[in-house]
C-alpha cells in the first residue's frame, strides 16, 4: 500500500513539480541563509573589533593625562562593567608602560604580558578564548591591552545572524504552501478532464470540450477526441454487423422451423420427405452463411494480407475451377483467358482463392444453368486485373453501386444469396490494395473485376 502510494507520487505531476520546486527553493534558501549568517557574523565581529579599538584609544588618551591618578582610575574603570547583555560585554583591560610593567588592570582581565605586537589576536587562556587588542600610545610611553571574551562575542554575532535569518525561516513554509496551491490550481483542468474521461461509457463517445483546457493538454485532448471518433466508428460497425448477422440468421432459422413443422403436420409421406429435404438444404445454407460471417469477421481486423507472396495466377485459377467443377450444372461452361506467360501476382494465396471462388459462386448462382462463365486475367507492367463475367441477366443499374455492401442483395434471382459474397471479395481486394468493380456488360451479362492487383517486380 505504502509503496503503491510512493509509486503514485513519483508519477504524479503535482508531486514531481512540488519536489523539484521545493528542492530549488530549499537549496536557494539554505545558500542565502548560510551567506546571510556568515555575513552577519562577520559584520558583528568587525563592529565589536571597532569598539575594542575605540576603547583602547580612549584608555590611552585618559592615561596620558592622568598617570598620577592611575590606580584610582583603574578601580573606577574596572567598575564600568557592561550590563549582563551580550551587546555590551564587560570591559577587560590592562594598562602599562612602554616597557611592559603593568600600571592597572581590570580584575577579570586575562593575565598576559602586554608587550605583544600592536594589533588584534585571539588567544586561549585557562580554557577561555579571548579577542585581544594591544595598542601603544603615539609617544611609546604607555601600552594598553583590551580583551573581549570570544564566547560572548560569538553569542552576539549569532544573535545578529539569527535575527537576519528569522524572516527567511518564516517565509519558507508560506512559500511552499503557496507553490503547492498554485500547482494544484494549475492542474485542476487536468483533473476535470480526467473525471470527464473516466465518466465516459462506450455509449458516450462525444468529443471532449477543447475550451478551458491548458495549451499543454490540448494535443492530448485532440488525440483523445480523434480516438473517440475512431472507436465510435469501429463500435458502430461492430454493432451493425452483429445486428445484421443476427437478423440474417433469422430467415434461415425461420425456414428451418417452418419446414420442420410442415414435416410434422404433413399427413402424406412425399410431402414430409420433401420438407425434410428442405431442412437439409436449409442447414447447408445456414452453415454457409455462418462460414461467410466468420470469414468476414476474421478479415475485418486485418490491415494487410496475412501473407504476401508471389502467386502463379494460372494455378490460382485452375485450382478454383477444379474445386467448383463438381458443383457445376451440366451445361454451364467455364472459359479461362490468360496471357501467354502470366506474371506472378503478389498477395495472399488463400484469400485470393476465397475471392475468386466467391465470384465464381455468384456467377453460378445468378445465371441460368446453360451460361458461360469467363475468367480473364489482363496484365500490364505492374498490375493485374482479374475478371469474372457471365452472360446472365445482370444486376439492376441502381444496385451496382451497393454490391460490395454487407447483406445487400441485388434484386434478381433473390432468396439464395446471403449478401456477403461480394462484401468478402471487396474486403479482400481492399486488403490487397485493389478495387472491386462491377458492371453490366453491353451485350448482356455481368462482370466483376479485381482491379490493380500488384504484380511481382521483374
Partner 1 sequence: MRLLLVEDDALLGDGIRAGLMLAAYAVDWVQDGKMALLALADHSYDACVLDLGLPGKDGLTVLREMRSCGDQTPVLLLTARDTPEDKITGLDHGADDYLTKPFDLGELQARIRALLRRAGGKAQPLLEHRGVSLDPASKRVSFNGQEVPLSAREYALLHALISQPGHIRSRNQLEESLYAWGDETGSNTVEVYIHHLRKKFGADFIRTVRGLGYQLADDA
Per CB under 8 A, residues contacting partner 1 are 247-248, 250-259, 261-262, 265-266, 271, 274-275, 278, 281-282, 285, 396, 409-412, 414-416
Question: What is the residue whose three cell numbers read 469474372?
Answer: 388
Question: 309 vs 416, which CB is nearer to partner 1?
Answer: 416
d(CA 16, CA 7): 12
Rounded to a whole number of angstroms, the minimum distance from the CB of residue 446 to partner 1 is 15
Question: 292 vs 387, which CB is nearer to partner 1?
Answer: 292
Question: 140 vs 396, which CB is nearer to partner 1?
Answer: 396
Rounded to a whole number of angstroms, the minimum distance from the CB of residue 392 to partner 1 is 15
Rounded to a whole number of angstroms, the minimum distance from the CB of residue 333 to partner 1 is 25
Rounded to a whole number of angstroms, the minimum distance from the CB of residue 251 to partner 1 is 5
Rounded to a whole number of angstroms, the minimum distance from the CB of residue 419 to partner 1 is 9
3-state secondary structure the chain: CHHHHHHHHHHCHHHHHHHHHHHHHHHHHHHHHHHHHHHHHHHHHHHHHHHHHHHHHHHHHHHHHCHHHHHHHHHHHHCCCCCCCCCCCCCEEEEEECCCCEEEECCCCCCCCCCCCCEEEEEEECCEEEEEEEEECCCCCEEEEEEEEHHHHHHHHHHHHHHHHHHHHHHHHHHHHHHHHHHHHHHHHHHHHHHHHHCCCCCCCCCCCCCCCCHHHHHHHHHHHHHHHHHHHHHHHHHHHHHHHHHHHHHHHHHHHHHHHHHHHCCCHHHHHHHHHHHHHHHHHHHHHHHHHHHHHHHCCCCCCCCCEEECHHHHHHHHHHHHHCCCCCCCEEEEECCCCCCCEEECHHHHHHHHHHHHHHHHHCCCCCCEEEEEEEECCCEEEEEEEECCCCCCHHHHCCCCCCCCCCCCCCCCCCCCHHHHHHHHHHHCCCEEEEEECCCCCEEEEEEEEEECCC
Question: 221 vs 279, which CB is nearer to partner 1?
Answer: 279
Rounded to a whole number of angstroms, the minimum distance from the CB of residue 395 to partner 1 is 11
Rounded to a whole number of angstroms, the minimum distance from the CB of residue 417 to partner 1 is 9
Neighbours of 323 (CB within 10 A): 13
Task: Label the pairing between strands 128-136 and 345-347.
Answer: unpaired
Question: 186 vs 276, which CB is nearer to partner 1?
Answer: 276
Rounded to a whole number of angstroms, the minimum distance from the CB of residue 222 to partner 1 is 36
Question: 259 vs 391, which CB is nearer to partner 1?
Answer: 259
Question: 93 vs 366, which CB is nearer to partner 1?
Answer: 366
- Sheet harboring 372-379: ordered strands across? 333-337, 372-379, 383-390, 446-454, 435-440
Question: 282 vs 313, which CB is nearer to partner 1?
Answer: 282
Question: 259 vs 292, which CB is nearer to partner 1?
Answer: 259
**Distance, first Cα to last Cα, the chain:** 64
Question: 347 vs 392, which CB is nearer to partner 1?
Answer: 392
Rounded to a whole number of angstroms, the minimum distance from the CB of residue 332 to partner 1 is 19
Please provide residue 191's backbone torsions phi and psi, each rounded to the nearest 5 degrees: -60, -40
Rounded to a whole number of angstroms, the minimum distance from the CB of residue 256 to partner 1 is 8
Question: What is the residue whose three cell numbers read 600600571?
Answer: 103
Question: 184 vs 257, which CB is nearer to partner 1?
Answer: 257
Rounded to a whole number of angstroms, the minimum distance from the CB of residue 397 to partner 1 is 12
Rounded to a whole number of angstroms, the minimum distance from the CB of residue 366 to partner 1 is 12
Question: 73 vs 395, which CB is nearer to partner 1?
Answer: 395
Cα 177 to the chain's mean position, in Å? 28
* Sign of the torsion angle spanned by Cα atoms 426, 432, 434, 440: negative
Amino acid at each position: 500500500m505504502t509503496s503503491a502510494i510512493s509509486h503514485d507520487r513519483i508519477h504524479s505531476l503535482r508531486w514531481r513539480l512540488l519536489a523539484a520546486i521545493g528542492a530549488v527553493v530549499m537549496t536557494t534558501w539554505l545558500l542565502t541563509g548560510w551567506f546571510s549568517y556568515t555575513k552577519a557574523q562577520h559584520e558583528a565581529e568587525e563592529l565589536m573589533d571597532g569598539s575594542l579599538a575605540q576603547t583602547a584609544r580612549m584608555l590611552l588618551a585618559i592615561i596620558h593625562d592622568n598617570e598620577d591618578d592611575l590606580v584610582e582610575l583603574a578601580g573606577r574603570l574596572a567598575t564600568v562593567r557592561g550590563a549582563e547583555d551580550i551587546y555590551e560585554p564587560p570591559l577587560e583591560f590592562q594598562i602599562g608602560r612602554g616597557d611592559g610593567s603593568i600600571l592597572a588592570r581590570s580584575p577579570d582581565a586575562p593575565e598576559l604580558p602586554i608587550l605583544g605586537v600592536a594589533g588584534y589576536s585571539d588567544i586561549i587562556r585557562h580554557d577561555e578564548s579571548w579577542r585581544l587588542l594591544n595598542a601603544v600610545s603615539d609617544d611609546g610611553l604607555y601600552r594598553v591591552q583590551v580583551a573581549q571574551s570570544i564566547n560572548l562575542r560569538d553569542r552576539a554575532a549569532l544573535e545578529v545572524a539569527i535575527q537576519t535569518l528569522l524572516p527567511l525561516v518564516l517565509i519558507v513554509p508560506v512559500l511552499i504552501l503557496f507553490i503547492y496551491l498554485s500547482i494544484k490550481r494549475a492542474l485542476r483542468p487536468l483533473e476535470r478532464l480526467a473525471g470527464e474521461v473516466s465518466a465516459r461509457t462506450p455509449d458516450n463517445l462525444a468529443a471532449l470540450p477543447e475550451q478551458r483546457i491548458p495549451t499543454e493538454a490540448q494535443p492530448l485532448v485532440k488525440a483523445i477526441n480523434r480516438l473517440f471518433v475512431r472507436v465510435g466508428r469501429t463500435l458502430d460497425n461492430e454493432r451493425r454487423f452483429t445486428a445484421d448477422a443476427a437478423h440474417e440468421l433469422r430467415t434461415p432459422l425461420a425456414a428451418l422451423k417452418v419446414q420442420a413443422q410442415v414435416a410434422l403436420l404433413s399427413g402424406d409421406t412425399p410431402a414430409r420427405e420433401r420438407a425434410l429435404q428442405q431442412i437439409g438444404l436449409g442447414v447447408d445454407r445456414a452453415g454457409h452463411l455462418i462460414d461467410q460471417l466468420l470469414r468476414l469477421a476474421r478479415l475485418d481486423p486485418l490491415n494487410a494480407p496475412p501473407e504476401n507472396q508471389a502467386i502463379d495466377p494460372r494455378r490460382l485459377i485452375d485450382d478454383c475451377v477444379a474445386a467448383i467443377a463438381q458443383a457445376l450444372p451440366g451445361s454451364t461452361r467455364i472459359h479461362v483467358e490468360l496471357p501467354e506467360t502470366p506474371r506472378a501476382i503478389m498477395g495472399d494465396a488463400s484469400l485470393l482463392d476465397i475471392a475468386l471462388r466467391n465470384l465464381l459462386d455468384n456467377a453460378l448462382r445468378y445465371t441460368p444453368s446453360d451460361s458461360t462463365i469467363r475468367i480473364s486475367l489482363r496484365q500490364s507492367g505492374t498490375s493485374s486485373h482479374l475478371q469474372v463475367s457471365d452472360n446472365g441477366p445482370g444486376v439492376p443499374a441502381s444496385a451496382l453501386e451497393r454490391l460490395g455492401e454487407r447483406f445487400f442483395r441485388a434484386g434478381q434471382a433473390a432468396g439464395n444469396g446471403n449478401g456477403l459474397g461480394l462484401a468478402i471479395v471487396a474486403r479482400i481486394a481492399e486488403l490487397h490494395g485493389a478495387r472491386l468493380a462491377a458492371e453490366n456488360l453491353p451485350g448482356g451479362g455481368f462482370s466483376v473485376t479485381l482491379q490493380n492487383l500488384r504484380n511481382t517486380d521483374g
